Structures are given as C-alpha cells and as structure tokens.
C-alpha cells in the first residue's frame, strides 16, 4: 500500500551526476516511514545528471525528473519543481549534499504540528548551526549579502540566503505569478513577494563541504543577486531586464565614441569608416553582453545560434536607430527650441524598440 504523500523534496541540479544517487539514498534513510517524493530539476546538464536521475527513477517511482531544455537558473528550477507536485509541503535542498537532509522530518513535523506556520528555514546562523569550512572571504561576502537581504526583507530572518527550507505548497502556488525567479535566492524571492509577512521558524544546520562536482556560484551569480534585489525594490517602475538592457546600451555608446575617436582622431581614418567600425564594435559588444547578462537564462550558444542572434539583433537595432532619428527629427520640426528633449525622446523610443523586439526575436526562441 502506498503512503499518502506528505512531502516533496525539490532538488535543483546542474552537473551533479556524482551526487544524485547518494542524495536519494540519504533521503530514503532520513525520510523512512514518511510519504515523500523527490523531484530533481535539471537544466540539461552536460554531465548527464538527468539521465543518472532517470536511472534512479526507474528503480524507485518516488524519484521524479524534470529536464529543462534551453533554460538556466537555480530559482526558476525550484519554482518549476515546486509546481510539479501534489504534496501539501515542499522542501528545497541542494543536490550536492551540502545541506543536512536529516533535518527534513523535523521541518515537516513542525509544519504539521503548527498550522500557523507557513515555512521552516534551515539556518546556518542560529544557535547550533554553522557555515562549516568556509574561508574568511566567503564568510564576509555572505555576511554582506545577508545584510542587504535583511534590508529588503524587513523580517528578522537569520539566514535569508538559505537555499534549504520547507514551505506549504499552496502558498508557493499563490506567489508564483509574482516571483522574479532570478538567480539563486528562491527563499528571499518567496518571502519578499508575499503580500503578508510569512510566518516562519528556523532550525539550525551546518553547511557541509562539497565533495563531488563544483559550485556554480560565480561573479555573474553575485551580480544576479543584486539584480534580484533591484527587481524587488524598483522592478515595478522600470523592469529589471529593460534596466540592464539600457545600462548596456549606455556602455555601448561609450564604446562607440572610444572606437570612433581612436580611428578618426588617432589613426586618421575617414569619419564614415570610423562610424561604421565603431557601430559594428558597439553592436557586437552589446549583443554579447546582453546575451551573457540580460538574457543569461535564455543564452544563445554555439556558432549557429550566435550568428543568427547577432544578425537579428543588428536588424532590430538598425530599425531602432531609424526610429530614433525619425522621431527626434519630427519633434525637432514641431518645436525646434526643444532639440535636447527631441533627441532624448528619440533615444528612449529607440531603446524601447530595441529592447522589445530583440527580446522577442533575438532571445525569444524558447
């Protein structure tokens, strides 16, 4: 007789082939006597994590696998896993064995015992918890990120950066439409999105050392964290992607002027040749920056995708430039005194055009 399903454990994975079997066997031990399932959400890892997970799933139907193609992101993977279960409670845990799975039964029991609680957070910073063998540098960075998070959160959560927690699934389903789902910090996203403060309890655990595979936390992930905070604070006024696209656009203008001065003033090229070269360099730079940052989750890869993407980006921007010049010219004809305003409106219309169309045609294929 199957047990009623009490808990779903969602595990985001990227290149964790060496860890998934051990994780599932540890869950089996930790959750003995409970009705549970584990959902591994893999972003098509090159190391074949999804296939390794499916092999486990064939032997044990409590193991389920979602293989996402053409998408990346820890938070969005968690969201997808959390939406894929019928269990009333869902826990999120890393796939690299760094979180303490033996805490899961206690998390579940606390939620069952206290209907007023919405979620239980595994914390490294309450009495009894710890960051294990982290070096000073990572401790300092994590402390800074935690301070920032607390300011946005306005809740007295000791470890808002935690990626280890259990929450009532119905609450998640209610919040999903408004989540930003950017980057690494799904807990923070859930808690800042909720219109009413979520009621939480914290349980201590010690962050373990990773033995297999490697961490995916890099500078871009750190940048994504800041972006996610921006999104929380100002995202409704200026959407985060548009903000990034615009900042990169400004950078492109600087690159353009730099290349132009180098060629025209420095090397004595004609103005036209300088302009063409500067345009191509700035356009190409912006294309790659947007691909790596603004559209990181839908990044184009490989020669074919990159060439197609570049061509469509160039086409979109060419039309954007014509629109920019046309509109600025029109406004200037109407009121010739307002030349600066006319130019700025032209730039803004061009930027919105470039953004809207490139997000649809250059990065919108999935």
Which 143-182 positions form the footprint of ligand GDD (CB under 6 A)? 161-163
Contact (Cβ atoms closer than 8 angstroms) between residue 171 and residue 90: no
Work out how close the CB of 159 gets to ligand GDD at its nearest, in angstroms, rounded to a whole number.
Answer: 8
Give the nearer residue to ligand GDD in terms of CB position, either 98 or 354.
98
Contact (Cβ atoms closer than 8 angstroms) between residue 34 and residue 105: yes
Instruction: For residue 98, state whether it binds Mn ion (rule: CB under 5 A).
Output: yes
Return the one option of Mn ion, ligand GDD, none that residue 72 interacts with (CB less than 5 to 8 A, by type): ligand GDD
Q: Which residue is nearest to ligand GDD (CB)?
A: 163
Return the one option of ligand GDD, Mn ion, none that residue 77 interacts with (CB less than 5 to 8 A, by type): ligand GDD
Instruction: For residue 14, state whether it binds ligand GDD (rule: CB under 6 A).
Output: yes
Given 8, 10, 38, 77, the residue binding ligand GDD (CB under 6 A): 77
Q: DSSP 3-state assignment of 67?
A: strand
Instruction: For residue 224, state whether it binds ligand GDD (rule: CB under 6 A).
Output: no
CA distance 66 to 83: 11
DSSP state of 177: G
Contact (Cβ atoms closer than 8 angstroms) between residue 104 and residue 31: yes
Of 1-9, 10-18, 64-72, 98-106, the window that binds Mn ion (rule: CB under 5 A) is 98-106
Return the axis-axis angle of helices 186-193 and 219-234, rounded to nearest 10°: 0
Strands 200-204 and 119-123: parallel
Work out how close the CB of 217 gets to Mn ion at its nearest, in angstroms, rounded to a whole number.
Answer: 7
Buried b (16+ CB within 10 A) or exposed e, 278-313: bbebbbebbbbbbbebbbbbbbbeeeeeeeebbebb
CA distance 57 to 219: 34
Return the axis-axis angle of helices 186-193 and 74-82, rounded to nearest 10°: 70
Work out how close the CB of 225 gets to ligand GDD at its nearest, in angstroms, rounded to a whole number.
Answer: 10
Contact (Cβ atoms closer than 8 angstroms) between residue 200 and residue 168: no
Instruction: For residue 96, state whether it binds Mn ion (rule: CB under 5 A).
Output: yes
Instruction: For residue 42, state whether it binds ligand GDD (rule: CB under 6 A).
Output: yes
Work out how close the CB of 95 gets to Mn ion at its nearest, in angstroms, rounded to a whole number.
Answer: 8
DSSP state of 37: E
Return the one option of Mn ion, ligand GDD, none that residue 95 interacts with (CB less than 5 to 8 A, by type): ligand GDD
Give the nearer residue to ligand GDD in terms of CB position, either 98 or 312.
98
Give the nearer residue to Mn ion in terms of CB position, either 98 or 192.
98
Of 29-37, 95-103, 174-182, 253-261, the window that binds ligand GDD (rule: CB under 6 A) is 95-103
Give the nearer residue to Mn ion in terms of CB position, either 62 or 99.
99
Work out how close the CB of 127 gets to ligand GDD at its nearest, in angstroms, rounded to a whole number.
Answer: 18
The contacts of residue 37 (CB under 8 Å, 6+ apart) are 5, 7, 8, 9, 62, 63, 64, 85, 87
Give the nearer residue to Mn ion in terms of CB position, either 92 or 111.
92
In the block, tokens 């203008």 appear at 253
First to last CA, the chain: 41
Query: Applying CB under 5 A, which residues contact Mn ion?
Result: 96, 98
Query: Applying CB under 6 A, which residues contact ligand GDD?
Result: 12-14, 16, 41-43, 72-74, 77, 94-96, 98, 142, 161-163, 184, 215-217
């Amino acid at each position: 007789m199957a047990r009623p399903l009490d808990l779903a454990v969602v595990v985001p994975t990227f290149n964790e082939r060496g860890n998934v079997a051990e994780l599932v066997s540890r869950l089996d031990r930790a959750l003995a006597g409970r009705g549970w399932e584990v959902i591994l959400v893999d972003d098509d890892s090159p190391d074949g994590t999804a296939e390794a997970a499916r092999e486990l799933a064939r032997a044990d139907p409590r193991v389920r696998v979602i293989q996402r193609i053409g998408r990346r992101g820890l938070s969005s993977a968690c969201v997808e896993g959390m939406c894929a279960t019928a269990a009333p409670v869902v826990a999120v845990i890393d796939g690299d064995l760094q979180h303490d799975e033996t805490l899961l039964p206690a998390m579940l029991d606390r939620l069952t015992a206290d209907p007023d609680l919405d979620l239980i957070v595994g914390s490294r910073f309450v009495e009894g918890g710890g960051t294990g063998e982290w070096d000073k540098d990572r401790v300092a960075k994590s402390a800074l990120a935690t301070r920032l998070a607390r300011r946005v959160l306005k809740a007295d959560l000791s470890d808002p950066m935690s990626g280890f927690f259990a929450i009532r699934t119905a609450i998640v389903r209610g919040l999903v439409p408004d989540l930003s789902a950017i980057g690494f910090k799904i807990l923070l996203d859930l808690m800042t999105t909720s219109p009413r403060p979520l009621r939480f309890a914290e349980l201590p655990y010690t962050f373990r050392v990773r033995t297999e595979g490697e961490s995916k936390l890099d500078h871009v992930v750190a940048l994504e964290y800041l972006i996610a905070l921006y999104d929380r604070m100002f995202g409704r006024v200026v959407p985060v992607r548009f903000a990034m696209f615009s900042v990169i656009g400004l950078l492109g203008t600087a690159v353009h002027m730099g290349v132009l001065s180098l060629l025209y003033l420095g090397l004595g090229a004609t103005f036209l040749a300088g302009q063409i070269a500067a345009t191509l360099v700035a356009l190409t730079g912006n294309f790659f920056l947007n691909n790596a940052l603004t559209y990181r989750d839908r990044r184009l890869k490989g020669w074919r995708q990159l060439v197609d993407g570049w061509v469509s980006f160039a086409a979109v921007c060419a039309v954007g430039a014509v629109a920019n010049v046309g509109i600025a010219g029109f406004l200037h004809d109407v009121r010739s005194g307002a030349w600066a305003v006319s130019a700025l409106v032209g730039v803004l219309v061009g930027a919105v055009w470039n953004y809207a169309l490139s997000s649809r045609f250059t990065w919108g294929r999935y």
